[in-house]
Amino acid sequence: MRLGGRHDGREVRVRFDGRRLRAREGEPLAATLIANRIRVVGRSFKYHRPRGIFTAGSEEPNALVTVGTGAARVPNVRATVQEVYDGLEATSQNAWPSVQRDLLAVNDLLWPMLGAGFYYKTFMWPRAFWEKVYEPAIRRAAGLGALSGEVDGEVCEKAFAFCDLLVIGAGPAGLMAARVAARAGARVILADEDRDMGGRCLSETWEIGGLPGHLWAAGVVDELAAMSNVTLMPRTTVTGAYDQGTYGALERVALHRPAAPDLPRECFWRIVARRAILCAGALERPVAFPGNDRPGVMTASAVRSYVTRWGVAPGRAVTLFTATDDGWRTARDLAAAGVRIAGVADARFDAPESGDFPVWRGGRVTGTAGRTGLTSIEIVHEGGTLRQRTDCLAVSGGWNPSVHLTCHMGARPVWAPEALCFVPAEGGVPGLSVAGAARGVFSTRGCLEDGAARAREALEALGLACGAVEVPGAEDDPCRVAPLWHVPGKGRAWLDLQNDVTVKDIALAARENFRSVEHMKRYTTQGMAPDQGKTSNVAALAVLAELTGRTIPETGTTTFRPPFVPVSIAAMGAGGEGRGFAPERLAPSHEAAEARGAPMIEAGLWYRPSHFPAPGETGWQEACDREVRMVRQAVGVTDVSTLGKIEVSGPDAGAFLDHVYTGTFSTLKPGRVRYGLMLREDGFVMDDGTAACLGPGRYLITTTTAAAGQVMRHLDYVAQVLRPDLDVVSASVTEHWAQFAVAGPTARTLLGALLDGPPELAFMGTAEVSVAGVAGRLFRISFSGEEGYEIAVPARFGDALWRQLVALAEGLGGGPYGIEALNVLRIEKGFLTHAEIDGRATAQDLGMEGMLSGAKDFVGRAAAQRPGLTDPERPRLVGLRPVIAGEPLVAGAYLFDVGEVPKRETALGHVSSACHSATLGMALGLGFLRNGAERLGERVIAVDHMRHVMTLCDVTRPCAYDPGGGRMRG
Amino acid sequence: MARLLARDPFGGLLPLSWGQVTAMAVDPGPVTLIAPYRASVGETRDRLRAELALDWPDPGRATGSGEAALLSVGPGRALLVGVPAPDLPGAAVIDQSDGVAVVAVSGADARAVLARLVPLDLDPVAFGEGSVAATLVGHMTATLWARGEALRIVGMRSMARSLVHELERAARNVAAREAMRNR
């Protein structure tokens, strides 16, 4: 049934539970359902009772629906928030097979057994059934809506915004505040949860400045929209107050439209405001009475919203149960709109008379009837008892200011006994003030004045001048409320509709001594549903107070935490889906490697080729074996640009390196390279690498790929904090240089073909070179154990140089190799990576105690001498080879003595790296073994408990190939 | 042996335009990190003024309006952009020309697009001509520089492709919002 209504929208078609309905574009789905007389929109959480629409806002506890179909469907959408569009599809939740006939309604018959904390007292026998039967069954039955479980491909976004003043809420208080501040030149953001700005102006019939409230609001919005220093953010809920004026907000960008490519559904904002004013208004508080959860029972302000704003009548014979003056607006506004009022039950004895409908003074509703929709109510009043036929009961128990944001940093709200509500504590969030109904000012004129006053204060704090402010005239009636939290009687009276918590549950909690409001909340789950108890918190603690003989302030309230409304993880994580999760760092040879079909492996944020498949090869192992042989017998080229490269220079650069490395570098001559070990302050090894001296006071150090950032931070820390006396500069040049390793017996031949005048470089030397006229650097170092070089050019030439190197290598019977082969080559030589330097290893564990200089101090020196780090029982680096040819060795396996039961207490160490060695034709590994140095030649068993692999191994020195190093030293 | 061809860090992905925003690759010319040694701060600044007519920038600022500019990128260090560095014996002079990938974002929606990626106030009153900030663009560290009509992002070469993708995603989303609003 459609009335006039203020909302104007073209007619569209939507579907609910498969039924096609006529709707007006832009109205909430709840209004559409009401217009089409759909009364049961869902089933309650525990008891599966039929439920209808209760409110007209985002605090809705009952009308949760699933919107959309397929992968992108969204559960638990409040029908009071979802705007309809042509083609919208929505379904009810928590019912099977249908919301009209739900088999789980049998729960309602079992209600005496399903009260607060029932799962602590029931489903206990037989014991084995709990994990296998009861818990899975309860889990399946729990919850309201369900995710699709598929990747939905919907787009969300995140964004940042900045302003002088953030005004939260665009009702009378917020509009006044925003206008005052904007006219004074402040940068203002005005955010409101609704599609239209105006707050209660949109649904009430009062006047402001001689205009109907909603027209006054529209005029202010028009003025603000034209100002360049104002950003209007409708459909935006400020969800949380965080440090230093940062607020989280969720904008429903396009949930009111069909999906479109690139159109984000939601945007999660972080708004930084120098000042903010909370004008979030208040939420109406219902009264709990027996049978108060039937479809058709609604808050009075919601009834007015549906009739006045949306033009739909929630009933044909509406009754009102009120303890407030404000509730009477419902009767007047509905009558004016042509909706029949069947009567008003006013709990107060001084309620006015009316000629148009019966008024029951001292009236309380004590019962209801109508399972799938209200049909009648039972009223007890000063004149007796009666039963009244009605299909919609509007309930008004008072207003609860929306104080939530003011508590997000730990403050608790304060009880205001005259207004019978909680109001914000002063200064709960620095920089945030509160205006209007959100702080208990309930008259329209009061809200306008309050908004203006807070804006003036904010402008003063911002250092902006504020001119004269005129506050338009509006009603200024006192808002009288009588305290009525619940009506005792037979039958359950609901407090938390969303979690199915009743007054009886609170009573049970109190009886069982869960008397603290914190305990009551957790024991009964009141306030713990997605609606966060917005329509039940105050009533529940008032009931608890009454039952435990305390006042409301004595009972206190639980706190509020962000978010104020549910926020989808897709919005908070926008941009992080799939490959958006992290930036991709690509090496200079990346395109060429991809073109050759090299699969990529992630090393930190870098992508590195695993191997370069040749035609006919069946897998990575085959390619890896070929590449290893190729490097040992001819020449291989690999991209090492990803390793960290840091230039350290300055008058004290040498002394600085002496302090960060365990060895001495101040004596390193220009043109020479030295291997170095860096410890953390706690004495454990942080990284190993090389340092080259480029000239007096100029060095270039390398780090392992994944540790580059950590080492850079460490160097900054040492320079700024530990040795501020040293005059030194460290800067990363990782990105500037493309660097490639050329390794193998014919590496020198290759370089001869590449370079203009190849230098004679001794092992561990460096020189400047020219590559086809481009200035580059050459290093003679080896990670493969063959004669090896690294050649560096500025990164813009990296791709071209790579291609040349590969062509020249192939001409010599070699080619490119990837990191699988790189790893095998170094394991064969016993060289270390962060598989060994895993943050738990000391220099002694690695067999490198000789690298700790005794002549100078260095970072970690003192801590490395602690008994725990020098304990001779610590596992030490060894090599491992399977005794039986062909047996595998698995990294991560633990080492045990032969014949010992392999369990935690008998473990002697572990395998840190393992591979198949193409050079030696067997599996090979490195690991740590207690007393490793004394046990060379003995046997141990490597056990991988997860993959069930056990391998008998010989303990050897770490280096398995060319132990003298002759091949690389030349 | 053959010449080595240079590649642009964006691999030909730019320029791109979406809705009211354009992203163009900028060839910054030589880029050099200059960090005076403590003992020679004054001398280095004097030399820069003498040779390039550039003042040492305050934190958060860039100096120079012509071909050359000095950007403040950290305590005691600045990035010289556009001309080769002069001889500065009292400073660390570190070539970064190939380490950076510079993109200029311009157009009516440039700030709206960057609002999706940069946690800074980019309103002209807060980040006007000559402003510099070391900040994040999405998940990547970069230096932001307001110069002329455009906001320049000085990012890392290895992440150039990711930077373009992030800009593209944000720009498409902003353009889609505009289209919805105008429908």
pLDDT tens column, A168-199: 999 999 999 999 999 999 999 999 999 999 99
Question: How many A-B residue pairs are in contact by the CB < 8 A criterion?
Answer: 148
Q: Which of B1, B8, B123 sits opposite A772 (nearest CB)?
A: B1
- Which site among A156, A160, A236, A265 would you substitute to test the B interface, given the most B Cβ atoms closer than 10 Å to its Cβ? A160
- What are φ and ψ of residue A521, in 5° steps? -60, -50
| C-alpha separations of B75 from A143, A412, A576, A653, B78 in Å | 54, 43, 32, 18, 8
Task: Provide the CATH topology of domain A871-969.
Answer: Elongation Factor Tu (Ef-tu); domain 3 (2.40.30)
Write out chain B residues lying below 8 Å of A155, CB-based: 173
Asked if residue A793 lies in contact with residue A752, where contact means CB atoms within 8 angstroms, the answer is no
- Give the sheet arrangement for strand A19-24, strand by strand: A19-24, A11-16, A89-92, A64-67, A74-78
How many beta carbons lie within 10 A of that of residue B100, not counting itself?
Answer: 23
Report the pLDDT averaged over residues A475-496: 93
Task: Provide the CATH topology of domain A1-148.
Answer: Ubiquitin-like (UB roll) (3.10.20)
Q: pLDDT of A683-696, one tens digit each?
A: 999 999 999 999 99
Q: Please say if the pLDDT value at position B183 is more than 80.
A: no
Report the pLDDT averaged over residues A480-492: 94
| C-alpha separations of B106 from B16, B111, B142 in Å | 11, 8, 17
**CATH (residue range A594-642+736-817):** 3.30.1360.120
Q: How confident is the model at residue A152 (pLDDT cuts 50, 70, 90)?
A: confident
User: What is the domain class of A157-283+401-462 according to CATH?
Assistant: alpha beta
Q: Please say if the pLDDT value at position A142 is more than 80.
A: no
Rounded Cα–Cα distance for residues A380 and A58 (Å)? 33
User: What DSSP designation does A560 have?
Assistant: -
Asked if residue A186 lies in contact with residue A165, where contact means CB atoms within 8 angstroms, the answer is yes
Asked if residue A830 lies in contact with residue A958, where contact means CB atoms within 8 angstroms, the answer is yes
Q: pLDDT of A618-655, one tens digit each?
A: 999 999 999 999 999 999 999 999 999 999 999 999 99
- Which site among B40, B80, B88, B98 would you substitute to test the A interface, given the most A Cβ atoms closer than 10 Å to its Cβ? B98
- Judged on CB neighbours under 10 Å (0-12, 13-18, 19+), A577 is middle
DSSP letter for each residue of A128-181: THIIIIIHHHHHHH--SS----S------EEEEEEEEEEEE--SHHHHHHHHHH
Rounded Cα–Cα distance for residues A102 and A100 (Å)? 6
Q: pLDDT of A716-747, one tens digit each?
A: 999 999 999 999 999 999 999 999 999 999 99
Q: pLDDT of A255-265, one tens digit each?
A: 999 999 999 99
Q: What are the domain boundaries of chain B?
A: 13-28+98-183, 29-96
Query: Is B33 in CB contact (< 8 Å) with chain A?
Result: yes
Percentage above 70 pLDDT, chain B: 99
pLDDT at residue number B130: 97
CATH superfamily membership of B13-28+98-183: Probable tRNA modification gtpase trme; domain 1 (3.30.1360.120)
pLDDT at residue number A126: 87
The identity of residue A634, as a single letter, is A
Q: Specify the domain boundaries for CATH 3.30.1360.120 within chain A.
A: 594-642+736-817
With CA atoms as reference, the chain B residue closest to A267 would be B116
E strands in A170-295: 188-191, 207-208, 211-212, 230-233, 236-241, 246-252, 266-278, 282-284
Query: Is B111 in CB contact (< 8 Å) with chain A?
Result: no
pLDDT at residue number A1: 62
Q: Please say if the pLDDT value at position A757 is more than 80.
A: no
Dihedral sign of CA atoms A197, A283, A312, A53 in order: positive
Asked if residue A591 lies in contact with residue B13, where contact means CB atoms within 8 angstroms, the answer is no
- Residues A932, A938, A944, CA angle at the centre, nearest 5°? 75
CB contact under 8 A, A650 and B140: no
Rounded Cα–Cα distance for residues A515 and A300 (Å)? 32
pLDDT at residue number A127: 87
Q: pLDDT of A196-214, one tens digit each?
A: 999 999 999 999 999 999 9
Q: Please say if the pLDDT value at position B60 is more than 80.
A: yes
- Which site among B109, B173, B182 would you substitute to test the A interface, given the most A Cβ atoms closer than 10 Å to its Cβ? B173
Q: Please say if the pLDDT value at position B182 is more than 90.
A: no
Report the pLDDT averaged over residues A451-479: 94
CATH superfamily membership of A644-732: Aminomethyltransferase beta-barrel domains (3.30.70.1400)
Q: Which of A253, A583, A733 sits opposite B162 (nearest CB)?
A: A583
Average predicted confidence (pLDDT) for chain A: 95
Q: pLDDT of A78-87, one tens digit each?
A: 999 999 999 9
Q: pLDDT of A48-62, one tens digit each?
A: 999 999 999 999 999
Tokens of A513: 């001594």
Scanning B47-106 for CB atoms below 8 A from A yields: 76-77, 91-92, 94-100
| Poorest-pLDDT segment among A107-116, A729-738, B73-82 | A107-116
pLDDT at residue number A467: 87
Q: Specify the domain boundaries for CATH 3.50.50.60 within chain A.
A: 157-283+401-462, 286-397
Residue range A286-397 in CATH 2.60.40.1760: no
Scanning A635-654 for CB atoms below 8 A from B yields: 647, 649-651
Rounded Cα–Cα distance for residues A315 and A373 (Å)? 10
CB contact under 8 A, B94 and A263: no
Query: Is A263 in CB contact (< 8 Å) with chain B?
Result: yes
Q: Please say if the pLDDT value at position A464 is more than 90.
A: yes
Task: Provide the CATH topology of domain A483-555.
Answer: Arc Repressor Mutant, subunit A (1.10.10)
Q: pLDDT of A346-396, one tens digit each?
A: 999 988 888 889 999 999 999 999 989 999 999 999 999 999 999 999 999
With CA atoms as reference, the chain B residue closest to A581 would be B139
Asked if residue A264 lies in contact with residue A157, where contact means CB atoms within 8 angstroms, the answer is yes
Average predicted confidence (pLDDT) for chain B: 96
Q: How confident is the model at residue B1 (pLDDT cuts 50, 70, 90)?
A: low
CB contact under 8 A, A583 and B4: no
pLDDT at residue number A542: 95
pLDDT at residue number A117: 82
Q: pLDDT of A878-934, one tens digit each?
A: 999 999 989 999 999 999 999 999 999 999 999 999 999 999 999 999 999 999 999
Percentage above 70 pLDDT, chain A: 100
Residue A405 distance to chain B (closest CA, Å): 23
Query: Is A160 in CB contact (< 8 Å) with chain B?
Result: yes
pLDDT at residue number A970: 79
Q: Please say if the pLDDT value at position A120 is more than 80.
A: no
Which of A577 and A224 is assigned the larger pLDDT? A224
Q: Please say if the pLDDT value at position A812 is more than 80.
A: yes
Which of A351 and B76 is assigned the larger pLDDT? B76
pLDDT at residue number A899: 94
Write out chain A residues lying below 8 Å of B38, CB-based: 727
